[in-house]
Chains A and B, each alone.
Chain A
């Protein structure tokens, strides 16, 4: 499959959307369009463009101020119409989600882990994304290698959701070297994030 690179680093909306749209319109066959941007709002807007065209997309934060989106244009629908580039403001609200365990609720641990995976998937599908997701105690297991929620978490991170895991918790579980998404935080930052949050949800 053809690889198309779109460099929109340093560009503000609507330029990343316009460049992506032009790359898609120029395609003559199946291609993977790789779009590089430097801000979360651009990730959200290019993701929205792909959604409108029913093109599968995944996004990833490579480093600070560097995000990449991969659009699998192979499955672009013929019905998709060119449209004016749409720019919307940042979709993150003032919500903080505190994940304190790798299981949701009390009772069966196995069921709880299944429910937590479902929760994080559904969270990633919401129109308004949280500003921050905090992971502590057993919740730290969800941000490390082998977690089945990594795809959801990476997608939300690339759209600007701050993913933070308690460092002491990673250390306790021997997972410090296995962190796979987001950053490490400490209790002062956790307390500050929770106390300054507009709303806190604890699944």
Chain B
């Protein structure tokens, strides 16, 4: 298991939105990665965007400009 780090976690209302977020962030070189939604947020299924906390502004701008609806925003040690 890798060490736990503080990460910015974005959740989305749909899996499609999470995948769209990945596409836009990869295209723009914004740091982060798609991960399964941490169980500390929900026991349900889904994908979330995990990014370094200092990339918050870039990530939120990308979501807004891409028209991607963000369901939740968390800072978690995962």
Contact = CB atoms under 8 A, between A and B. Distances in A.
Partners in one complex: yes
A170 B71 CA distance: 40
A160 B55 CA distance: 32
Given A54-B77, A121-B35, A114 B47 contact: yes
B19 A114 contact: yes
A61 to B, nearest CB: 15
Contacts of A117: 33-34
A117 B34 CA distance: 8
A124 interface: yes
A26 interface: no
Nearest to A117: B34
Interface residues of B, number: 15
B44 interface: no
A57 B1 contact: no
B64 interface: no
A50 B4 CA distance: 9
B15 A114 contact: yes
A126 B36 contact: no
A51 B3 contact: yes
Interface in A106-138: 110-111, 114, 117-118, 121-122, 124-127
Given A111-B15, A155-B2, A121 B77 contact: no
B35 A47 contact: no
Given A54-B77, A118-B35, A124 B19 contact: no
Contacts of B34: 114, 117-118
A38 B35 CA distance: 31
Contacts of A55: 3
B25 to A, nearest CB: 11
Interface of A: 47, 50-51, 54-57, 75, 110-111, 114, 117-118, 121-122, 124-127, 148, 155
